[in-house]
Amino acid sequence: MPKLFPIPENHAQRFSLHNEIHARPPVPLKLPISASHLAITVNEQEKAQERLHLISLCQRFGINPPPIEASHFIASFDTFLFHWEQHGEFSTYCFYVNSVDINQPFAKPALAFAPIDWLDKLTGKTIIAAHAVILPANKQQPGIDKITRYFEGNAAVGAKMTGGDAQAFTDFRIHNDGFSRFIIFDRNLQSQQAGRLLQRLFEIEIYRVMALLAFPIAQELAPKVSQYEQRLSQITTTMAQPDCDDGLLLDQMTRLAAEVESNISHSQFRFGAAEAYYKIVEQRIIDIREDKIQGIQTIGEFLSKRMQPAISSCKSTAKRFRLLSERISNASQLLRTRVDISIEQQNQALLTSMDKRAKIQLRFQETVEGLSIVAITTYIISLLHSSIKAVHTLGFKVFHPDIIAGLAIPFVLIIVAIGVRRLHKVIKKIE
């Protein structure tokens, strides 16, 4: 037994990440073989339901079901080999049987061996349904007429693959039974090699359709982004006019920004997924190593000519929305700057007006204080005059009351003024 060396504690995800490279291995196949492949889009609720449905299939045939956290499952049932995988947006179900009619390979596909009642209760929406067969190849190259016969007369595309060990063909059409078709001629395929080739062809079929889910969205949004660009142009043109209403323009800009961001948030995931799926398609085309057959278009050529414009349209629409969002942000910032400057000017004018009012109020207050000093002085002199007049009436006739009152006026006025100023100082200290 090898000696165990002490190492630091394992990261919580060390083993799961280490084993991820071995996840979803290709199924080793015994040839010839017939296969049926289903890709079904599922939401989170349907994912839980399909696991229960998968368990019911295993219980029917006495097979141990996969763990609840498993994302793929391979098992051999009575009459067919079964392969299930769960992905982010979809799940795949693949059925393999070694019963193939060489003359009519698609007459009884592998799906015919699965329980019909179980298939009828699958949850989700079918996005891909395909039949495939791997047949032994003749020494001579099959003619185009013979190949198209397998596809009901439709033009086929295909090539030599995996270094010439196989020839694979399809027409990328949905036939009357609701399934697309792949036919592979085995020249020197090994068991694992056949499983990898079939898996890659199915993945090309799935991911090309998943990538194109964004195309209808791009077609729907293209006219909208043109309208948004026109509205932004009108707003920015109005902004350049000296007598424009900045408040009204800012309201229009805010509503435009909200509409644009709403469309971006609803389409961003789909456009990002389309780009990722298309990269997988391109990689799978590289993986199958196509060698051209004279007179037949390769799968890579066919998909490139037909998918590239759609994917480019999706990328263009997504880019136009990003650039439009940036332009709206820049214009909004400029408009807000203008509004802020206008508010600053209004505030400055208000402060100037308040300053003038304060000065006027101060002067008015000084005038009132002056009048109040005079009034207080008059009141005191009046009291003094009345007091002296009373004394004069009693017989003390040293000075006449009017003379004494008149001489006291400047002294009383000074005393009152000094008292008012001291009172102001006391009030300021309290404040």
**Cα Rg for the chain, rounded, in angstroms?**
46
Q: H or E segment at 344?
A: helix 299-393
Same domain, 222 and 295: yes
User: Within a domain: residue 7?
Assistant: no
Residue 384 forms part of a structural domain: yes
The answer to whether residue 341 sits within a structural domain is yes
- Which pair of structure tokens corresponds to residue 295? 């007179």
Residue-range definition of the domain harbouring residue 405: 356-430
Instruction: Please tell me the distance from the alpha carbon of residue 404 to that of residue 115, in angstroms, as a whole number.
Output: 132
pLDDT at residue 369, rounded to an integer: 67
**Has residue 12 been placed in a domain?**
no
pLDDT of 26: 77
Last residue of a domain, one of 160, 192, 224: 192
Q: What's the rounded Cα separation, in Å, for the pair 312 and 324?
A: 18
Distances in Å between the alpha carbon of 356 and those of 14, 351, 352, 367? 75, 9, 6, 17
How far apart CA 154 and CA 296 sit, in angstroms, is 13
Do 345 and 375 belong together in one domain? no
Q: Give domain status of residue 204, yes or no.
A: no
Residue with tokens 């435009």: 256
Q: Residue ranges of the alpha helices (H) in 140-213?
A: 144-149, 191-212
Instruction: Please check whether residues 73 and 181 belong to one and the same domain.
Output: yes
Tell me whether residue 105 is in a domain.
Answer: yes
Same domain, 305 and 387: no
CATH number at residue 218: 1.20.58
Considering the domain architecture, whether residues 246 and 327 belong to the same structural domain is answered as: yes
- Give the DSSP letter of residue 156: P
Assess whether 324 and 360 both reside in one domain.
no
* pLDDT in the model for residue 409: 77
Residues 80, 171 within the same domain: yes
Single-letter code of the amino acid located at 340 = D
Q: Say which amino acid occupies 79.
A: T
**Number of C-beta neighbours around residue 39 at 10 A:** 26
Q: Are strands 81-86 and 72-76 parallel, antiparallel or unpaired?
A: antiparallel
155 and 36, same domain (yes or no): yes
Q: Which of 299, 332, 349 delimits the end of a domain?
A: 349
Would you give the DSSP letter of residue 135?
E
Separation of first and last alpha carbons in the chain: 90
3-state SS, residue 132: strand
- Asked if residue 301 and residue 240 are part of one domain, the reply reads yes
Counted domains in the chain:
3
pTM: 0.77
Which residues touch 269 (CB under 8 Å, ≥6 apart)?
none
Residue 138 tokens read as: 């003749």
What pLDDT does 1 receive? 45
For residue 254, tell me if it sits in a domain: yes
172 shares its domain with 29: yes
Phi and psi angles of residue 22, each rounded to the nearest 5 degrees, phi first:
-100, 0
Residues 113 and 147 in one domain: yes
**Same structural domain for residues 402 and 327?**
no
Q: Point out the domain boundary residue: 162, 192, 222.
A: 192
C-alpha–C-alpha distance, residues 134 and 132, integer Å: 7
Residue 201 lies in a domain: no
Residue segments in the chain with a per-residue pLDDT below the cut of 70: 1-4, 20, 22-24, 139-142, 362, 365-371, 392, 395-399, 427-431
> Which residues make beta-bridge pairs with 136?
186
